Every structure is written in structure tokens, then in C-alpha cells.
Structure 1
């Protein structure tokens, strides 16, 4: 089976390959093609993968190319992990937003809109090429903003594109762990959009254990979300929010923390990964050791500003191991081998949330089999959550419209309608600044 990874020079690709090395079952991936625009990044990552595969019998073969069409031909699965504009673009997204006094983050608020505006045209082109060159392939989208990009691609690939994120998985795992339950045996009632969802229940053997957690302040405050949001706020909500909702519920504190930080997350990662790629390309250096060391630092500093603002302390060791590659592999296995499983995924709504139309991509539990991902029926969201989901989905739709039409006015509207952008004039200045620093937004007129 052939797996093509777009953005194959990306830093997290070795996580995916490491998971593939542990898969010995029939029908496993035997061929991996890495596609990237940057030869140097491809060289560094292929070195890491070669060292991972050392001594592993029948390890999947790895080839690398900068030719997108060549990479797609004959693919059974396509992982889209592209980052349009690279980490330099992310750093600019964050900086421009903070200069206007609004949140600078790659998926939430102004930064997420800017990232989406320059990513959607590229993702749509990829979707069209997949439809033409590998019509039977399944596309698993890792590219952020994951829900928005998945929806853009679904307009050309239908249900054969599925978005994934490790945040809901990590949240469900932490809740199960603190309740003494086996995460593999628990059903997580999680509903929302990507980076905008809530756990409303955790059922073990048919019994919802979440009320027990919410009723116990000591237990509730013993894991990351309890420390991040505060036990009293979680009890008021009656649910456990995705960590990214900290940007909404504590926006003023988050913006201030980012403004006061020595450097933004994007700037930190840009410098860190520049060092990684430079060092990993050197002769005589063990690229895998360099990657392991860099990844440990990257994971430990994740959302550091938010945790500092909330006094949440350091991340727990169990949360430093990633997880999105495990979700991707489980999804791929379920489809390729018809191994039915339940995963939280980004898929078309199809009536799952009554407040949204059928084609809106939502993040919900799904039953996955050989025919793809099928969302479970869920209870409606409470009013406060439904209103926020509706507002953010409306912004996503304006982003898609602006990307399709090239309308600068529609781009301004997307920014202005976002709950974390507090003025139409700020929205206008954001569009002006983003178009001046991002060549990829030159299409907006």
C-alpha cells in the first residue's frame, strides 16, 4: 500500500513513520513517498527516517520528490501536512495580529484567518489533483486550520477527505486517566469544530463518568484542563473544553501574555527548526538524536503562555508524546482493512449538529469502516457553545468565499466577524498588514 505525505519535509513526519514501523499486520503501508517543495528539508527528514528504520525488517520504503503529480500517482492514502508560507509565515501571522492588539495564534482568531486565506487556494489545488490523479485515494488532512482546510477540500473530494487533530484525543485520554478508566474502552462525547469543542460526557460500560469528575474539585483540578481553566469555570460549564478555548474564555490574559513573551510561538519554532534542519543535514551527525532532542523541547513548551497565565505548571510526561500519528494510523487501518473503530474526526456534518448545514465540517466522534467515517448522532450543544460554533463557522465560510473569489472586502468581513476581533477598523488594518507581508495573499483585490 502506498502512502504519500505532502509536506514530507515537515518536522512531525518521523512520528508518522515511527507508527508505520510498528505496524506488522497484513495490508500495511509498504511504500512512503515524501513530497515537499524544499529539497533540504526532505534530505534531513529522510535521514531521520533511515535511522528509524535501521534494523527493522521489511520497513516501508521511502522516496522523496518535489514533484506533486509524481507523488500522487498510484497513492492509496494521501496525508496533507503542508504549511503554506512556512514557519516564517506563522511568525508573521502572530506578529501582525499582536500589533493590532488581538490574538496572534496560527489557528484561532486573526492568525488562523490569515493562515486559512493563504492555505485554502493551495489545498483546493491539491484536492483537484488528487481527484484527477488518484481518484480512489483517501486524503487525511493534518493541515491547519484543520476544519477549514478539510471543508475546502471536501468540496472537490466529498467524504474521501477526513481531517484529524490530536487535541480531542489527548483531552479524552487525560479525562479517562484521572477517572481511572481505560482510554481505549471509553466513549468520549466530544462535539464542536476543530480547536473549538467540548467534552460533555465520558461513558464507560454505558455509564457517564464525567459528572463524578465535575463534582470533585480536587479531582477536577488534578489534570491540565482543570488547572488551565479553573475548576469553578469547568463546573459552571458542565463540560471540559478543548484547551484552545482558553483563547476565547481568557482572551485578554492570553493576548497580554503573548505580547509580553520574549518571542511568539511561531518565532520560537522558526528558530528551533532552522537549527534542527541545519544540524540534521551535517555529515557524521545522528539526525534521529537531533530530532528527538528538538521534539522534546517543542512538546514541553506547547501553549506555555497559556499555562503560565493560568498557573497551570509544566505539561505532564504522558502529554509529551504527541498522538496525531496514532489517530492517523488508526483511521487508515480502519478504512484499508475494514477494522471498525471509533475516532474523533473532522467530517461533513450531515445533520449531526442541527444548527449547521450538511456540508459544514464538524469535529465529532465517528464510526470508521471501509466506507469511511460516519458521524454519530449527538445531542445539541447548549446555547453558549452553539452560538460560538455558529459564529466561527460563519467566519470560515467567509474565508472560503474570499479564497474562491479573491475579494478583499470579503476577507475584511471574515476578520471583522470573528469573536476575537473587536473592530471593523482593526479588521481592515489586519488585511492591509497581512497582504503586505504575505505574497500568498496577493490574489486579494
Structure 2
């Protein structure tokens, strides 16, 4: 199989390549094409991948290009992990929002809307090039905001674009671990939108074990989401929310923590990754701490460890829970999800994964084309969402409100309508004023040349 990675100079590409190196199954990926607009970043990541592949028999061949059409031709799968505007853009999203006293996180609230407004037009262009040059390819989308971008691309590619996220997988693993269950043997009842979902049950051998956890305050407080939300609130909800719901349930505290932080998350990652890429490209092309074998991979591993340890630091500060526990540092493994998804489609290895797909009739409160995040059965025909119980009213309110916001973002991206963009900001549950919405759009258009299309 041939895999193309869009955003091939991105920091997390080695995670995907590492998963490919561990795959020894028949018909595994034999060639990876890295596409990026930044040649220096492409070169740096290629050095890390070369270190990873050293001594691995049958390691997938790597090529790199800055030509999108060249990257897409002949691809069986296209993994999209682009970041329009880079980390500087993310930092600007945070600054503009916080100046108005609202949240600027990259996928939630004002920041997520700004990111979506500049990303959707690019994602739609990519979808059209895939349709023209690789019509039989499947697109696996990890570009944020993942649900919104997947829905935008589905208007061109239909069900041949599937969104992935590691948050639900990581949550399911942590809950299973606390309950003493093997995550691979558990059925995770999870439903919602990307970064807006709830784990409502965890069944082992047909029995739902979640009520046992919800009735045990000590056990609830023993893992990251329990500490973040508090056992009392989780018991009241009767579910374990995705960590991103902390921005909704504790919005004032989260905004205050972001405003007090020395740097926002985007600014931290911008500076951290600038140091990493500089280390791999300066001087004679070595890795700073040494130019020998494995130096590039060593630099990447150190940077990754720091990145994971500081994840959602402002939220933990708002909740007063301190640093992450070692058990919580394991990610959901989006690269493993991507590999399992590819193998299920290409080789017919039927599996069940939590994915971002078109709703069809799964949630009655949304239309058929709305992209949702739910467990799906996956095989050669793609991903089919499973039937789930209806959402409780409190979840219906959030899900439908945020989906309405996403639809306004899509309308603005398609038409260039400034009014639709303002409406997207104003309708979001975390933006409390139409006047603030107008000022947010003014601030974002001033910060991002890519939003100049919003004129109508």
C-alpha cells in the first residue's frame, strides 16, 4: 500500500511512521510520501524517520515533496494532518480570544471557529484534488477541528473521508484500567461530536461496569478525567466527559487560567517546536546534541516527552490537580487507530473503532450528513456507525448548538459571507455577546491574511 501524509513535516509524523514499522502484516504500507509546504520541516522529519527505520527490515520507503498533486497520485490512503497558519496561527487564535475574555483553544470556542474558517477552504481544495487524482483513495483526517474538517471534505468525498481522534480512545483506556478491564475486550459506549462527547458505558462480557466506577469517589479521583472534573460532577452526569468538555463545564476557571498562564498552549508549542526544528537543521544538519546515528530521533523523543507532560496544563491548574500522573501520559494512540482503520479497509480485517463519520440515522437530533464521533464497524466498505441510545437533553443542547456553529463556518467558507462568520462566533455557547462576536472576527481577520476571503 502507498500512504501519503499531508502535513508531512509535522511533529507527530514519526508516531505514524513508528506504527507502520511495527506492522508486519501482509499487505502493509510499503511507501510513504510526505507532503508539506515547508522544505526545512520536511527535511527535519525525514531525518527522524531515517533514524526510526535504521536496522528495520522492510521499512516503508520515504519520499518527500512540496507538490500536492505529485503527492496524491497513486495513493491508496491519504492521511491529512495539516495546520493552516502553523503554530503562530494557533497562538494568534488564543491571543485574540483571550483579549475579549473568551476561550481561544484551537478546537473549542472562538479559537476553534477561527481555525476552522481558515482551514476549511484548504481542506476542500485538497478533497477536490484527491477526487481528481486518486479517486479510489481513502482519506483519514486528523486535521483539526477534526469533525468540522471531516464534514467539509465529505461534501466532496462522501464516505471515503473518515476522521480520527485519540481523545476517546485514551479516555476509554483510562476508564478500563481503573475498572481492571482489558480495553481491547471492552465495548466503549461513547457518543457526541469531536472534542464534545461522553463515555456513557463500558461493557465487559455484556455487563456495564461504569456504574461501579461512578459509585466509587476514590476510584473516580484516580485518573485524569476524574481529577479534572471531580468525582461529584461525574456522578451527577452519570457519564465520563471527554477532557475537552472541561472548557464548557468550567469555562470561567479555564479562561482565567489561560489568561494567567505565562504562555498559551499554542505559544508554548510554537516556541518548543521552533527549537526542535532549528536543532535538526542548523549547522551541518546534525541534531545539536550530536550528529551520530539516532541523534534526530533522540531530539524528537525529548521534545515529545515534554509536549505530553504539559498537555492541558492550564486546565489542570484551573482544577488544582497539578502535574499529570505517569499513567495518564499514554496518549490514545491516534497512529494506532489510523493503522487499524487502514488495515480494516484494505485487508478486510473487520474491527470496531471510535471515528468521525456521517451520522446517517444514528442520532435523531442531527441530519444524515452531520459528522459525529461514535463507535463504528469498519471493513472493506468503510466505516458504518453503530446504533446508540439517544443523548440526554443536556448533551442534546451542546451537540446541536455546536453543530449549528459548524454549519455556519461551512457556509462562510463556501460563500465568503462575513455575516455567516459572525453568526458562527455569536451562536457558540462559549461566546456571550454578538458584539464580542463581531470584535472577534475583526481581530481574527487582522491577524490572519488567510481570512481575507470573508468579504460578502
TM-score normalized by the length of structure 1? 0.99
Once residues 201 and 62 of structure 1 are traced to their aligned partners in structure 2, the CA distance between those partners, rounded to angstroms, is 41
Residue 311 of structure 2 is matched in structure 1 by: 302
Q: Secondary structure at the match of 2:175?
A: helix
Residue 430 of structure 1 is matched in structure 2 by: 440
Once residues 317 and 220 of structure 1 are traced to their aligned partners in structure 2, the CA distance between those partners, rounded to angstroms, is 17
Superposition deviation, residue 281 in structure 1: 1.8
Q: Deviations over 1:13-51 (max 9, x none)?
A: 000000000001101000000000000000000000000
Q: Is 1:421 matched with 2:431?
A: yes
Superposition deviation, residue 401 in structure 1: 0.2
Q: Is 1:316 matched with 2:325?
A: yes
Residue 280 of structure 1 is matched in structure 2 by: 280
Maintained 8 Å contact 2:223/2:328:
no
Residue 13 of structure 2 is matched in structure 1 by: 13
Q: Is 1:376 matched with 2:386?
A: yes
Aligned length, in residue pairs? 445
Q: Which of 403, 408, 422 is equivalent to 1:412? A: 422
Once residues 289 and 419 of structure 1 are traced to their aligned partners in structure 2, the CA distance between those partners, rounded to angstroms, is 43
Once residues 257 and 398 of structure 2 are traced to their aligned partners in structure 1, the CA distance between those partners, rounded to angstroms, is 23
Once residues 61 and 327 of structure 2 are traced to their aligned partners in structure 1, the CA distance between those partners, rounded to angstroms, is 30
Residue 184 of structure 1 is matched in structure 2 by: 184
Q: Deviations over 1:408-439 (max 9, x none)?
A: 01100000000000000000000001001101
- 215-224 or 414-423: bigger deviation: 215-224
Residue 245 of structure 1 is matched in structure 2 by: 245
Once residues 330 and 46 of structure 2 are traced to their aligned partners in structure 1, the CA distance between those partners, rounded to angstroms, is 21
Superposition deviation, residue 358 in structure 1: 0.1
Residue 347 of structure 1 is matched in structure 2 by: 357
Maintained 8 Å contact 1:224/1:312:
no
Superposition deviation, residue 319 in structure 1: 3.3
Residue 227 of structure 1 is matched in structure 2 by: 227
Residue 116 of structure 2 is matched in structure 1 by: 116
Residue 95 of structure 1 is matched in structure 2 by: 95
Q: Deviations over 1:86-137 (max 9, x none)?
A: 0000000000000000001000000000000000000000000000100000
Once residues 224 and 140 of structure 1 are traced to their aligned partners in structure 2, the CA distance between those partners, rounded to angstroms, is 28
Maintained 8 Å contact 1:281/1:287:
no
Q: Is 1:130 matched with 2:130?
A: yes
Once residues 313 and 172 of structure 1 are traced to their aligned partners in structure 2, the CA distance between those partners, rounded to angstroms, is 22
Q: CA RMSD in A?
A: 0.7
Q: Secondary structure at the match of 2:377?
A: strand
Structure 1 unaligned runs (5+)?
none
Once residues 87 and 218 of structure 2 are traced to their aligned partners in structure 1, the CA distance between those partners, rounded to angstroms, is 39
Once residues 274 and 99 of structure 2 are traced to their aligned partners in structure 1, the CA distance between those partners, rounded to angstroms, is 25
TM-score normalized by the length of structure 2? 0.97
Residue 411 of structure 2 is matched in structure 1 by: 401
Q: Deviations over 1:282-324 (max 9, x none)?
A: 4332111110000000000000010111122322324334311
Maintained 8 Å contact 2:14/2:48:
yes
Q: Which of 365, 368, 376 is equivalent to 1:358? A: 368
Runs (4 or more) in structure 1 with deviation over 4 Å come to none
Once residues 325 and 222 of structure 2 are traced to their aligned partners in structure 1, the CA distance between those partners, rounded to angstroms, is 11
